[in-house]
Amino acid sequence: MNLALLFDGDFISADRVLLRGRRLEHLNGILKASTGDRIPVGRVNGAMGFGEVLKLSDQEAELQVTLAHSPPPALPLTLILAMPRPKMFRRVLQTCASLGVKDIWLINSYKVEKSFWQTPWLSEDNLRENLTLGLEQAKDTVMPQVHIRKLFKPFVEDELPTLLADKRALVAHPGMTTPCPTHLDGPAALCIGPEGGFTDYEVAKLGEAGCQGVHLGRRILRVETAVPVLVSRLFDACQ
Amino acid sequence: MNLALLFDGDFISADRVLLRGRRLEHLNGILKASTGDRIPVGRVNGAMGFGEVLKLSDQEAELQVTLAHSPPPALPLTLILAMPRPKMFRRVLQTCASLGVKDIWLINSYKVEKSFWQTPWLSEDNLRENLTLGLEQAKDTVMPQVHIRKLFKPFVEDELPTLLADKRALVAHPGMTTPCPTHLDGPAALCIGPEGGFTDYEVAKLGEAGCQGVHLGRRILRVETAVPVLVSRLFDACQ
């Protein structure tokens, strides 16, 4: 936690918050904070700054917050992911949030096992918790939006074309002839398949919706590795 | 497992192997292979091809192997990592192996907790097992070399300058003024710090040894995310 993300419910006045639970444990256990210390904070979807510790106990911490600067820029990316295996999914969410991805669509695909959709990590609270961990890691405040689409065909036929309007649209898929582009300077949409990849039918449907098939070299990467590799290739993290 | 990596001990003749354990379970449980099926295999540090299943039981599988093509090119990268927290370490190893990193130096740093060096994941068998998983994911055969250096100063003063000879040498560190370069066309060495970063003293020592400090933008990434982001930035995966 390189920043404590503050939610509306944490505020007891315009510039004071009470922290409990995980963030309090971090203050006490990891940061070993004391009264008077300043710790980095940010208000969800708002500005970043510091919180000065006014009171601290095992039950709660009271901080006076000063929020003065903007979060880092978001990536102009719509990420469309075949729903990952649950044990990877949490990490993928955290990774996306830490990289600055703000628009995530979880879609079905032939090789997505039905059971993946049953994972408790898809609950609203758990999505928010894992995205929060990613934002706190990266020092960002802007909560990504997650959209869940459990039917492939209606999504690709009815929603995807609109979603892709005015974007460079790509589907990363082994065996394509075009290398994945680098250093885009405008908005993009990127589809990433499940373990084992999209089927030929699915790649064709994504193509009909406007996605260009691109490859990423000979190596087959797990989704949790492919996401940072592709994002780093498409956009310049240093800008 | 997109390829079964074969070791010398698996061979019962020049072109036949017996598989047991994890690889056999994968054949039976995931691939649901039958006699006559061909599965992708590669010989450690050697060629890749396929293995035709001759016999298959719950105890073992016998395959006739045909090895005809080369593994994907290695990255010309020496990766120097402050020893990661054990729960991340396994994944970092697998990620490095799947990305094509072949030369990994695990070094000490002020913020590396002493207990990290006690992890069983550093045993020779466990290193090989996790690197194997990464190679099998990416369809590669060339086993990375892992070097362990538990003392920072002797490593940086006595070994690092030689290691960096003829390489573009970088240390990724937040707050540097130079952005991390992209698309290198020659060998490189990259140092990545622990959670919380290298200390100023350590960055200065790495600088004396020849490493240029570079940043990766405002976001602070976990090592398991920073590795693929940096590797993807430094080298073109599609080449």
Can you give the CATH number for the domain in which A200 is found?
3.40.1280.10
Would you call B219 an interface residue with chain A, using a CB distance cutoff of 8 Å? yes
Q: Are B138 and B100 in contact (CB under 8 A)?
A: yes
* Final residue in a domain of this structure, among A17, A36, A69: A69
- Write the Ramachandran bin of A210: left for phi over 0, alpha for psi from -120 to 50, otherwise beta: left
* Final residue in a domain of this structure, among A69, A93, A119: A69
Asked, for residue B47, whether it belongs to a domain, the answer is: yes
What is the chain A residue with the closest CA to B224?
A225
User: What is the C-alpha to C-alpha distance for residues B147 and B103, in angstroms, rounded to an integer?
Assistant: 8
Centre a 10 Å sphere on the Cβ of residue B178 and count the other Cβ atoms it contains: 11
Would you call B222 an interface residue with chain A, using a CB distance cutoff of 8 Å? yes
- Within this chain, do residues A47 and A135 fall inside the same structural domain, yes or no? no
- Within this chain, do residues A119 and A25 fall inside the same structural domain, yes or no? no
For residue B77, the model assigns a pLDDT of 98
Asked, for residue A111, whether it belongs to a domain, the answer is: yes
- Work out the minimum CA distance from B135 to partner chain A, whole angstroms: 9
Asked, for residue B186, whether it belongs to a domain, the answer is: yes
Encode burial over B73-88: b for 16+ CB neighbours within 10 A, e otherwise: eebbbbbbbbbbbbee
* Final residue in a domain of this structure, among B69, B86, B107: B69
**pLDDT per residue over A23-72, tens digit each?**
999 999 888 999 999 999 999 999 999 999 999 999 999 999 999 999 99
Identify the domain containing residue B93 by its residue range. 77-234
Would you call B176 an interface residue with chain A, using a CB distance cutoff of 8 Å? no
Asked, for residue B184, whether it belongs to a domain, the answer is: yes
- Within this chain, do residues A49 and A155 fall inside the same structural domain, yes or no? no
**pLDDT per residue over A120-166, tens digit each?**
999 999 999 999 999 999 999 999 999 999 999 999 999 999 999 99
C-beta atoms of B217 and A95 within 8 A = no
Would you call B95 an interface residue with chain A, using a CB distance cutoff of 8 Å? yes
C-beta atoms of A230 and B230 within 8 A = no
Asked, for residue A239, whether it belongs to a domain, the answer is: no
Residue type, A7: F
- Within this chain, do residues A148 and A178 fall inside the same structural domain, yes or no? yes
- Within this chain, do residues A228 and A182 fall inside the same structural domain, yes or no? yes
- Within this chain, do residues B112 and B30 fall inside the same structural domain, yes or no? no
- Within this chain, do residues B136 and B167 fall inside the same structural domain, yes or no? yes
- Within this chain, do residues B39 and B129 fall inside the same structural domain, yes or no? no
- Work out the minimum CA distance from A194 to partner chain B, whole angstroms: 14
Asked, for residue B239, whether it belongs to a domain, the answer is: no
A-facing residues of B in 116-145 (CB < 8 A) are 137-140
- Within this chain, do residues A148 and A88 fall inside the same structural domain, yes or no? yes
Q: Please report where in the chains the tokens 């994002």 appear, as a residue.
A: A231
Q: Is residue A1 pLDDT above 90, yes or no?
A: no
- Within this chain, do residues A12 and A124 fall inside the same structural domain, yes or no? no
Span B145-156, average pLDDT: 98
Q: What's B88's DSSP letter?
A: H
Q: Is residue B101 pLDDT above 90, yes or no?
A: yes
CB pairs under 8 A between A and B: 99
User: What is the C-alpha to C-alpha distance for residues A177 and A212, in angstroms, rounded to an integer?
Assistant: 10
For residue A238, the model assigns a pLDDT of 85
**A157 Cβ contact partners less than 8 Å away, ≥ 6 residues apart:** A205, A209
Residue type, B159: E
Would you call A215 an interface residue with chain B, using a CB distance cutoff of 8 Å? yes
B23: CATH: 2.40.240.20
Q: Is residue B187 pLDDT above 90, yes or no?
A: yes
Asked, for residue B38, whether it belongs to a domain, the answer is: yes
Q: How many domains does chain B have?
A: 2
C-beta atoms of A238 and B180 within 8 A = yes
**B99 Cβ contact partners less than 8 Å away, ≥ 6 residues apart:** A219, A221, A225, A229, B75, B134, B138, B227, B228, B231
What is the chain A residue with the closest CA to B75?
A219
Q: Output the CA torsion sign for A238, B86, B210, B73.
A: negative
Q: Are A138 and A231 in contact (CB under 8 A)?
A: no
**A28 Cβ contact partners less than 8 Å away, ≥ 6 residues apart:** A56, A58, A61
Q: Is residue B152 pLDDT above 90, yes or no?
A: yes
C-beta atoms of B230 and A232 within 8 A = yes
Span B29-51, average pLDDT: 95
- Within this chain, do residues B136 and B221 fall inside the same structural domain, yes or no? yes
Span A209-234, average pLDDT: 96
Asked, for residue B14, whether it belongs to a domain, the answer is: yes
Bridge partners of residue B6, in order along the sequence = B43
- Within this chain, do residues B165 and B215 fall inside the same structural domain, yes or no? yes
